[in-house]
Amino acid sequence: MKKNTTYNYYSKLSFWTILFFALLVGCNKDDSDESPLLNPSSIKILQDDFSDRTLDLTPGDGVMLATYTTADEKIIFVLMNNEAEIIWRKDFGLFAEVYPTVGEPSSFRIDQILYEGNGVFSISAVDFGGDARFLKINTQGEIIFDENEFFTLTNGYYRYGMLLDTEQNYISFGALGTGRAFLSKHAPNGDLIFRKIFVESVDGSQAVTGCVETNSGELVLAGTFLPGALSDTSPGFFIRKYSAAGDELWSKRYELDPLPVATNTSSLNAGYGKDLIQNPDGSFSFLLNDPNQNADPSKARLVKFSSEGDFVKEDFINLASTNLIGGHSVSLLGSIYQGTIGQSLTRKADGTYMGIVNRYNESDSRSGSNLRTPHFPYIFELNSGGDLVNMEFSDRVYSSFYTTCVTLSNGKTAIYGRIISIGEDSKPLIIIQE
């Protein structure tokens, strides 16, 4: 097939027509007459050629920026309009995995992508040694800013997310080494305003994996801590609140049930959180997977906190037995690019939330070669109060993996991921929903 061709499933017959029909109707529950959660207005494949992984989808004003990798780990950027029509496709010299070759300098991989407004996307990147690079590109595909050490994170920092606050400061968060977590605030010119480093558990690894700015400018963050290999300590999650100046206002931590020592290794059990949201009443909802992925059935958790960080309740998104959950990595520090983890929440135009999570069967979630094994995505809904109200298996025929879901500037939502079982090739997939 010709390269660089965008396929619209509506215009194709045979396989593509069958696939669209399966996606459209296959997610109806067997015992329910409710409308399916997956109700696409458009389904497209962004490229014919093999794609090792889909990384992220970042919405802008009337556009969205998708990223995926090629077989040689290069990251491809694709700018589309809100109907997933491609405007341009470019390679800015970034990679998904960065390991230096003898005699050659190491290359930069994506750390985070933000939409800064006015048609500008910013890309934070880092090389194997921890050196930082910060790029800004416009909707014409031009690099308008490119500076090294703009966001210097000393080697050993792992950034799990970044956001712009109301003052256009950069808020970043993640893990430092294997035993600490961090929250940083940088001014628009890159100067460090503050950095808070803390420990939630002395045994194992931990990281901040979600953060929101409140209406009053305070920062609330959440994350998980994991026990070390063969440890008899418990995994858990935490939530903290800081003032805009970086003063800690409160901190709460919660342990989960202890896991059997024999199975409590970082390669098998990794509770990982993704996406913290604040609800209109001031409460918070946090999505994370269950640390015991050998359980029957495996599941993801939606934890709800009060406005002061007190545990309110948890809902379980039950998946299937003997399968891992999207969000798993070999350790909190093992996922090179966090956008690949397959857990996501987005607030829709009507104030409710849509989320995605995957169950899948892989021997190593970091290896690109086995990302073409069967994957099974789930879609779920939260009401405007952040409570789980519906969930269902979204694809009953073909193997696909959902990387993220976002709300577009026209009020539609988009699910980004890949379809995997086309002759054992993996190709980037985008689904637009009304």
- Predicted confidence (pLDDT) per residue in 109-137, tens digit: 677 899 999 999 999 887 766 677 889 99
The candidate with the shortest Cα–Cα distance to 94, out of 116, 118, 113, is 113
Spatial separation of the C-alpha atoms in residues 235 and 293, rounded to whole Å:
13
Q: Which of 373, 366, 377, 376 is nearest to 425 (CA)?
A: 373
Q: Kindly report the pTM of this predicted structure.
A: 0.82
Q: How confident is the model at residue 274 (pLDDT cuts 50, 70, 90)?
A: confident
Query: Residues 235-252: pLDDT tens digits?
Result: 889 999 999 999 999 999
Q: What's the mean pLDDT when you consider all of the chain?
A: 76
Number of helices (H) and strands (E), helices first, in the chain?
1, 30
Stronger pLDDT, 75 or 221, i.e. the higher one: 221
Name the helix (H) or strand (E) containing 23: helix 14-25
d(CA 290, CA 270): 8
pLDDT band of 73, cuts 50, 70, 90: confident
Residue 323 has pLDDT above 60, yes or no: no
Count of CA atoms in the C-beta half-sphere (13 A) of 434: 5
How far apart CA 420 and CA 430 sit, in angstroms, is: 13
SS3 (DSSP) at 170: strand
Q: How far is it, in rounded angstroms, from Cα 408 to Cα 427?
A: 22
Query: The tokens of 348 are what?
Result: 């829709």
Q: How confident is the model at residue 48 (pLDDT cuts 50, 70, 90)?
A: low
The C-alpha torsion from 146 through 342 and 421 to 40, rounded to 10°, is: -90
Cα end-to-end span (Å), the chain: 31
Beta-sheet strands, E only, within 178-307:
180-186, 192-198, 205-213, 219-226, 236-242, 248-255, 273-278, 284-289, 299-305
Cα dihedral value 409, 173, 269, 228, nearest 10: 180
Q: What is the pLDDT of residue 143?
A: 96
In Å, how far are 40, 227, 298 from 27, measured between CA atoms? Answer: 11, 37, 20
Task: Mean pLDDT check: name the lowest of 40-49, 56-65, 345-354, 418-427.
Answer: 418-427
